[in-house]
Amino acid sequence: MSNRLINWFRFSSPQTFYPLAGKMLPWFIVLAIAFGIAGLWVSFFVAPVDAQQGQGYRIIFVHVPASWMSMFLYVVMAAWAGFGLAFNTRLSSMMASAIAPTGALMAFLSLWSGALWGKPMWGTWWVWDARLTSELILLFLYLGFIALQAAIDDPRRADKAGAILALVGVVNVPIIYFSVKWWNTLHQGASVSLTKSPSMAQAMLWGMLLMALALWMYSIAAALARVRAIMLERERHAGWVEELPEMRA
Amino acid sequence: MNWGSTAEFFEMGGYAFFVWGSFGVAAAALVIETILLRKRRSSAIVELRREIAARSKNGS
Amino acid sequence: MSATTQMGTQMSVIAVAIAVVRRDLLLALRRKSEVLTTLFFFVIVVSLFPLGIGPEMSLLRKIAPGVLWVAALLATMLSLNRLFGADYADGTLEQMTLSPVPLGLLVSAKILAHWLVAGLPLVLLAPVLGLQFDLDPRSLGVLMVSLLLGTPLLSLVGAIGAALTLGVRGGGVLVSLLTLPLYIPALIFGAGAVEADISGLGAGGHLSLLAALLALAVFFAPWATTAALRIALE
């Protein structure tokens, strides 16, 4: 193995990754706050009023980034779970488990903001729009992953079973999205589409991008914090845990 | 500037409930998740300290 | 030597598969009540909807495809625990993993047997129930074809969920939470096929997509199920 390879895998053990994650954490928090402030500034003070939807359209600055993150995090989670299954590394599986709750939260925020966007624009709290419906199913996929891991006592079995579920899920997401879109367009009569977003002014695009970056940095920070907690919980009998500075009362 | 006054800003052109409902719940969710994560970390540490103390008492 | 390892050394692989199917069918026949209760569930759930919604025929005709398909979905899900449950409990499943015959083949055979016992009866029963909703004969035919393509798909995908939750507490409800999202494309294309037929658009597109999903599942589901079983048994 080359020296570069060895260096990479050096951080694949909980013992070495724990302090690394601890050092990275504050940076991602700072980035999240920075992008968040920038994003909110653009969302409220730079992006102009929309001709059709007035000030109400500003919800997209939460809704769209949350949707993007929920889908992105699911793929990342499945990737980590897949690595954990293929290379039998505990840490990769722990990362997948660490990402799941944040991903589910993003899916929930997407649905919540979607509902609040739909009510003033189309009159109902819920719209069976293809994307919202797929988002709802994505939330179910996240919850299934979390529930399965919670129900299995043996952590390694939970890791691997969750990995299979996540991989089956990630293959199914495009299928589900396609089928829901099909269902939606064929029932076009009653349906409305949230995809008819306001015509994108430059500032609006920037607002969504910055907010998405903010949520991305936040998600990384949350995952790092959660994986550290998971390591403390699961590696309790390892020697390196006892040596940690936080263990000295 | 988009807003004539602070009052206009909070009003959101009549969409106040929906816009602030979205941003507000999002902010609250992120804060709650952060709090829960910190609690998870501190209970893990407390639990571990207890275990370490018990183990050293038993002379292992 | 266990039955399956004996079979592996003496019979061809296909013959082993057929033997597994026959064994599962025999076991199901001996526990007729399990099979029949799932069927009764299907019948009762379908009959509940008119009672909840009202006897107006035009409305019932509209909801019939969806109702029949959802009921079939739920009935299949209820029967999933039977797929591996008994064999897991008495150690046969472990024996199967040790057998020289590929586990994937044995799993596929079990899924086939499960469909014959849990899915095929639904296909045969559905037209009868469809009459309660005043569906015309051609739509009933499309309904049967959609279920004929769909119920194997449900058994295949459900097997993954059943394998993942083997021996896990809260298994029954957990299987539902895991499998229902994965069932949604089947539901959309299956019920949609009947609706398309009723509205005159033709069920061809929906049924082709359903068939495509079935083909995909036939290839990938046994593989995922086998992986999940090995994880559950190690």
Sequence-ordered list of residues with C-beta below 8 angstroms from that of A105, at least 6 positions apart, any chain: B29, B33
Give contacts of A180 with chain C, Cβ < 8 Å. 184, 188
Distance CA C79, CA C115 (A): 10
Classify C170 in phi/psi space as left (phi over 0), alpha (psi -120 to 50) or beta: left
Strand partners, A54: A50
Q: Do A143 and C180 touch (CB under 8 A)?
A: no
CA of A45 to nearest chain B CA: how many angstroms apart?
6
DSSP letter (8 states) at residue B3: -
Higher per-residue confidence, C59 vs A122: C59
Residue A39 pLDDT: 95
Domain count, chain B: 1
Q: Do A109 and B34 touch (CB under 8 A)?
A: no
| A54: three-class secondary structure by DSSP | strand
Q: Do A151 and C165 touch (CB under 8 A)?
A: yes
Residue C215 in contact with partner chain A when CB distance is under 8 A? no
Q: Which residue of B has its CA nearest to A241?
A: B48
Residue A143 in contact with partner chain C when CB distance is under 8 A? yes
Residue C204 burial (CB count, 10 A): 12
Q: Do A143 and C232 touch (CB under 8 A)?
A: no
Global confidence as pTM: 0.90
Domain boundaries, chain A: 24-46+57-193+209-238
CB A79 within 8 A of CB A163: no
The beta-carbon neighbor of C177 closest among A147, A160, A168 is A147
Residue A9 pLDDT: 66
Residue C4 pLDDT: 59
Q: Which residue of B has its CA nearest to A229?
A: B41
Q: Is residue B34 part of a domain?
A: yes
Distance CA A153, CA A20 (A): 28
Give contacts of B22 with chain A, Cβ < 8 Å. 59, 62-63, 112-113, 116-117
Q: Amino acid identity, residue A234?
A: R
Residue A249 in contact with partner chain C when CB distance is under 8 A? no
Distance CA B41, CA A102 (A): 16
Distance CA C114, CA A180 (A): 28
Do A and B make contact via 3 or more CB pairs under 8 A? The reply is yes
Domain boundaries, chain C: 3-233
Token digits of residue C223: 């593989």
Give contacts of A232 with chain B, Cβ < 8 Å. 41, 44-45, 48
Higher per-residue confidence, A194 vs A209: A209
Tens digits of pLDDT across chain C (234 residues): 555 565 555 668 888 899 999 999 999 988 888 889 889 999 999 999 999 998 898 899 999 999 999 999 999 999 998 899 989 988 999 999 988 889 999 999 999 999 999 999 999 999 999 998 999 899 999 999 999 999 999 999 999 999 999 988 887 889 999 999 999 999 999 999 999 999 888 889 999 999 999 999 999 999 999 999 999 998
CA of B3 to nearest chain A CA: how many angstroms apart?
8
pLDDT at A55 over 90: no
List phi, psi (to 5°) of B58.
-80, 5
Q: Is residue B1 part of a domain?
A: no
Question: Which ipTM was obtained for this model?
Answer: 0.88
Give contacts of A46 with chain B, Cβ < 8 Å. 2
Residue C46 pLDDT: 94
Token digits of residue A30: 């700072």
Look at the alpha carbons of A151, A153, A155, A156 in this order and tell me if their dihedral is positive or negative: negative
Per-residue pLDDT tens digits for B6-15: 787 888 788 8
CA of B58 to nearest chain A CA: how many angstroms apart?
15
Residue A236 pLDDT: 84
Beta strands in B1-60 (DSSP E): none
Residue B14 pLDDT: 81
Q: Amino acid identity, residue A185?
A: T
Long-range contacts of C60-65 (CB under 8 A, 24+ apart): C60/C132, C60/C133, C60/C134, C61/C133, C61/C134, C61/C135, C61/C198, C63/C133, C64/C130, C64/C133, C64/C134, C64/C135, C64/C194, C65/C139, C65/C143, C65/C190, C65/C191, C65/C192, C65/C193, C65/C194, C65/C195, C65/C198
Chains that touch C (3 or more CB pairs under 8 A): A
pLDDT at A188 over 60: no
Sequence-ordered list of residues with C-beta below 8 angstroms from that of C99, at least 6 positions apart, any chain: C2, C4, C5, C7, C8, C106
The band of B35, judged by pLDDT with boundaries at 50, 70 and 90, is: very high
Residue A190 pLDDT: 42
Residue A28 in contact with partner chain B when CB distance is under 8 A? no
Strand partners, A50: A54
Residue B25 structural domain: 6-57
On average, the pLDDT of chain A sits at 88
Averaged over B29-51, what is the pLDDT? 94
Higher per-residue confidence, A122 vs A116: A116
Residue A182 in contact with partner chain C when CB distance is under 8 A? yes
pLDDT at B33 over 60: yes
Q: Is residue B15 part of a domain?
A: yes
Q: Which of A100, A137, A79 is nearest to C177 (CA)?
A: A137
CB A242 within 8 A of CB A109: no
Distance CA A189, CA A204 (A): 30
Averaged over B21-43, what is the pLDDT? 96
Distance CA A101, CA A229 (A): 13
Residue B33 in contact with partner chain A when CB distance is under 8 A? yes
